[in-house]
């Protein structure tokens, strides 16, 4: 039951990150360039995860997943979903090799989630590490 719950939240969070990425214009987390396929894909992931979880066998058996364990599984799954989304979107966009102009390259050194508007997840980490190395 615990692993099923983790997978449910992981897949649903990836779908949610896809919908949020397109609405917040975080191009660095997007799997698709156009909004409609992105939103449909995200919605299908969320719906598919819930359908799989609630229609699989043995859902009515008493399980020993307590509240604190469930919270830990939930938090771990949403963090893992963010990392998986970042890695997949970086791999997809690395193949595409999008051209970025100079003004966007300067914005690539923004801190936090804002850097995902102009850079991929792994690209943001790399540019942040380069900036830190130049300081030190």
| Contact by Cβ (8 Å): 90, 120 | yes
Break the chain into its structural domains and give their ranges.
2-97
* Percent of the chain with pLDDT strictly greater than 70: 76
| CA distances in angstroms from 76 to 16, 22, 99, 132, listed in the order given | 15, 23, 34, 28
- pLDDT tier at 40 (50, 70, 90 boundaries)? very high
Distance CA 92, CA 16 (A): 18
Give the tens place of pLDDT for each residue, 63-118: 677 778 889 999 999 999 999 998 898 888 876 554 444 444 454 456 666 667 77
Distance CA 114, CA 134 (A): 21
Assigned token pair, 18 = 């896809």
End-to-end CA distance of the chain: 47
| CA distances in angstroms from 42 to 54, 65, 71, 101, listed in the order given | 19, 28, 23, 29
DSSP 48-112: HHHHHHHHSS--SS-----HHHHHHHHHHHHHHHHHHHHHHHHHHHHHHT----HHHHHHTT--G
């Amino acid at each position: 039951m615990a692993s099923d719950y983790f997978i449910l939240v992981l897949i649903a969070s990836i779908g949610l990150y896809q919908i949020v990425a397109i609405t917040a214009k975080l191009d660095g987390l997007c799997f698709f360039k156009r909004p409609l396929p992105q939103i449909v894909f995200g919605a299908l992931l969320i719906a598919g995860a819930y359908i799989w979880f609630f229609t699989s066998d043995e859902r009515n058996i008493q399980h020993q997943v307590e509240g604190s364990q469930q919270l830990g599984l939930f938090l771990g799954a949403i963090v893992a979903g963010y990392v998986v989304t970042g890695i997949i979107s970086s791999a997809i966009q690395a193949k595409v090799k999008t051209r970025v102009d100079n003004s966007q390259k300067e914005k690539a050194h923004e801190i936090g989630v804002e850097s995902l508007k102009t850079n991929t997840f792994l690209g943001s980490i790399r540019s942040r590490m380069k900036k830190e190395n130049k300081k030190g």
